[in-house]
Structure 1
Amino acid sequence: MRLLPIVVALGVVGATIASSGETQVPDAQIRPQSLQWQKAGEAALAVGQFQAADDALEAALIVDPRNRGAFVSLARVAQRQKLYGQAIRFTNKALALEPNDPVALGVQGEALVELGAVARAQQNLAKIKTLCGTGPCAPATSLAALIQRGPAMAKAETPAAAAKKN
């Protein structure tokens, strides 16, 4: 009688372990169709077709929601449209999959700078530098240059300030 709960618990654990390995795909393997959609989205972004890029990248995530690159590319689409908050949300999703992704940290840092959160962007830069080590690192270089420049939104002239000048 006292052994019954233990035997039942062991049976449930055994059944769970046996069934969990049947359908899992390793995280390092993104489905090829998802990568094709991602490439199509990045090509559309390169020529400025934001809606087509967005659609293709979302299709990539439907095919494989673990496609970190698609989240980063969606963040780049949002940045080009000056939707910096949305860019940060997409990079957060990429970083939830891999917290040490220097590209995602760099894109997120760029969006943070544009929103005026320079201190937080500097934290991202420090983490990128740690991840990249002493060698050249494109995400660190571009983020450092953007931090030096400062937020474009703060430098942009507001319509009210332009009206006062006239």
Structure 2
Amino acid sequence: MRALPFAIASALTLACLSTSLAGQRPVAPIDARSQALLQQGRAERAAGNLGAATDTLETAAAVDPRNREAFILLAQVAEARGLPGKAIRLYREALVLEPNDVAALRGQGEALVMKGALAQAQVNLAKIRALCKGACPDANQLAAVIAKGPPVTTAQADTAVKPKAE
């Protein structure tokens, strides 16, 4: 009689585990069309055609929204076009798919520095260092970008050059 509640609880636990494991689908590979578009976008970026690369990579991400590489490459193209805010958002999309992607964390950190968000870039650097157990070139690269600081804008350069009139 004392073992009856334990037996019932065990049976329910096993039933729940077996149904939850049976209900999971295996991870499907990234769509081949999306992969082909990703390669085409890479080639367009290498050729310096950033507009066409953006269009192709956006199509690759639309064909298969699980294509993390398309989001990372799109973010790199956005940075090359001088759009760090868009790059931050695209890196965030890649990090939603894989939160431990060191390349996406580094890229997002660099874009955050471009926007002047050094504190958030430091958070990304800490995450990268936690993920890398030994020497980590991504952490070193992001640390160097953070140490350099955000780029000087024209308005900041004008005020630094011109002395105040008294």
1:66 aligns with 2:63: no
Q: Tell me what 1:26 maps to.
A: 27
In structure 2, C-alpha distance between the alignment counterparts of 1:163 and 1:146, rounded to whole Å: 24
Amino acid at match of 1:157: T
Q: Does 1:157 align with 2:154?
A: yes
Q: Distance in 2 between matches of 1:128 and 1:164?
A: 40
Q: Distance in 2 between matches of 1:25 and 1:31?
A: 15
Q: 1:51 to 1:124 in 2, by over 3 A?
A: same
Per mean C-alpha deviation after superposition, the further-off stretch among 29-38 and 112-121 is 29-38
TM-score calculated relative to the size of structure 2: 0.75
Cα offset, 1:163, TM superposition: 9.2
Task: Quote the Cα distance in structure 1 between the aligned partners of 2:38 and 2:80.
Answer: 17
Residue 149 of structure 1, CA deviation: 0.8
CA offset at residue 47 of structure 1?
2.7
Matches within 5 A, 1:122-137: 122-134=122-134, 136-137=135-136
The structure with the largest alpha-carbon Rg is 2
1:29-68 matched pairs, under 5 angstroms: 29-68=29-68
Give the distance between the partners of 1:94 and 1:107, measured in 2 at CA: 11
Query: Could you report, residue by residue, the CA deviation over 1:54-88 in whole angstroms, capped at 9, with x for unpaired residues?
Result: 01101211221100110111111111111111111
CA distance in 1, matches of 2:38, 2:138: 20
Shift of 1:37: 1.1
Q: Give the secondary structure class of the aligned counterpart of 2:48.
A: coil
Where does residue 120 of structure 1 map in the other structure?
120
The answer to whether structure 1 residue 148 and structure 2 residue 140 are counterparts is: no
Instruction: Show the counterpart of 2:14.
Output: none
Cα separation, 1, equivalents of 2:62 and 2:114: 29
Aligned length: 141
* Aligned amino acid, residue 97 of structure 2: L
State the 1:160 CA deviation: 5.3
How far apart, CA to CA, are the structure 2 residues paired with 1:25 and 1:44? 33
Distance 2:41 2:158 in 1: 37
Please tell me the residue identity of whatever aligns with 1:156.
T
Match of 2:3 in 1: none
Q: TM-score, normalised by structure 1?
A: 0.75
- 1:46: Cα distance to partner? 2.2
Identical aligned pairs, as a percentage?
A: 47
Separation of aligned partners in 1, 2:145 and 2:46: 20
Q: Distance in 2 between matches of 1:140 and 1:85?
A: 21
Q: Which runs of 5+ in 1 are unaligned?
A: 1-16
User: Aligned in 2, Cα 1:34/1:138: closer, same or farther, shift over 3 Å?
Assistant: farther
Shift of 1:162: 8.6
